[in-house]
Amino acid sequence: MKHLLSAANLSRDDALQILDTAAQMHDVQRREVKKLPVLRGRTIVNLFFEDSTRTRSSFEIAGKWLSADVINVSAKGSSVSKGESLRDTAMTVAAMGVDGLVIRHHASGAPLQVTQWVDAMVVNAGDGTHEHPTQALLDAYTMQQRLGDLAGKRVAIVGDLTHSRVVRSNLILLRTLGADVTLVAPPTLMPSGIANWSAAEGFSYGYDFDEVLPDLDAVMMLRVQKERMSGGYFPTPREYTVGYGLTRDRLRALPDHAVICHPGPMNRGLEITADAADEARSLILDQVSAGVAVRMSVLYHLLGGAEA
């Protein structure tokens, strides 16, 4: 595997190998001496055309802890703000002799497009409403740490599915790992073509959060992406919370062993209450921590180690 553009690039064995290596990287992360020499002499550029806190920082930390040289280029503060195209930007950066590009872009398919212009390894760090494969890997890693093997585990992904790249990558990876996935959203935020998609990929979907809640091993709440809803968003915030928010009442209906995930950033009080975000079953900060280990593993497999 030269690039990681989609969770569909990963067979079950690939995914398990990356998750196993991530566990070893997590051990490194917990120790005082964190640096491994495996990417010494390699240069990675984080090319971010959209804002990010978790993904960009954790890729930077991951690369540095593997001893790579890591440079951040974002749209703000680069020649992108002067109108330079994606092609010219990618080729300019690549011409400096970089080994890897980690790309976040508002256009679905941009990282794949870049692989046709440059020789460097490319990782998709989130492209439009398409995919975010390293988020899915870190989510799977975090759930697996708490729940064990994900085969047969019941996972609901709830919220603004229409605008979510996280749901697409998670759905693919969780199905690859054998989890039983249900998507839940209000009708206005359910992707069009959901019936065909669900039949093809073998997952269920519905509009009633309360119906699925008592049977879950994990619930993943998604952010309502107001910035991608130019015409306003429906239902109203209050209706959304009543129908689809992880509220105090719903926490009572969630089994004690079940875990709560959210890729962040959260709209506290909209899709998730502070009670849910901060309670013992919440793995939200574990996800953030796993982001470093998982991205170390991905960079290692793509640039420095054995073929994944």
111 scored as a contact of ligand CP (CB under 6 A)? no
Stretch that binds ligand CP, among 21-29, 49-57, 183-191, 214-222 (CB under 6 A): 49-57
Q: How far apart are CA 180 and CA 171, in angstroms?
A: 10
Half-sphere exposure (Cβ direction) of 80: Cα atoms closer than 13 Å: 17
Does 223 appear as a known binding residue? yes
135 scored as a contact of ligand CP (CB under 6 A)? yes
The answer for residues whose C-beta is within 8 angstroms of residue 86's C-beta and 6 or more apart is: 49, 105, 107, 110, 113, 114
Q: Is the dihedral of CA 43, 170, 28, 304 positive or negative?
A: negative
The footprint of ligand CP on residues 254-283 (CB under 6 A) is 263-265
CB-count burial class (<10 Å; 0-12, 13-18, 19+) for 77: exposed
11 scored as a contact of ligand CP (CB under 6 A)? no
Q: Is the dihedral of CA 203, 204, 206, 209 positive or negative?
A: negative
Q: Considering beta carbons, is residue 54 or 175 the nearer one to ligand CP?
A: 54
- Would residue 54 show up in a list of annotated catalytic residues for this protein? yes
Catalytic residue among 56, 132, 250, 262: 132
- Would residue 104 show up in a list of annotated catalytic residues for this protein? yes
- Would residue 175 show up in a list of annotated catalytic residues for this protein? no
Q: Considering beta carbons, is residue 220 or 246 the nearer one to ligand CP?
A: 220
Interface with ligand CP (CB under 6 A) = 52-55, 126, 135, 263-265
Annotated binding site: 54-55, 82, 104, 132, 135, 165, 223, 264-265
Active site residues: 54-55, 82, 104, 132
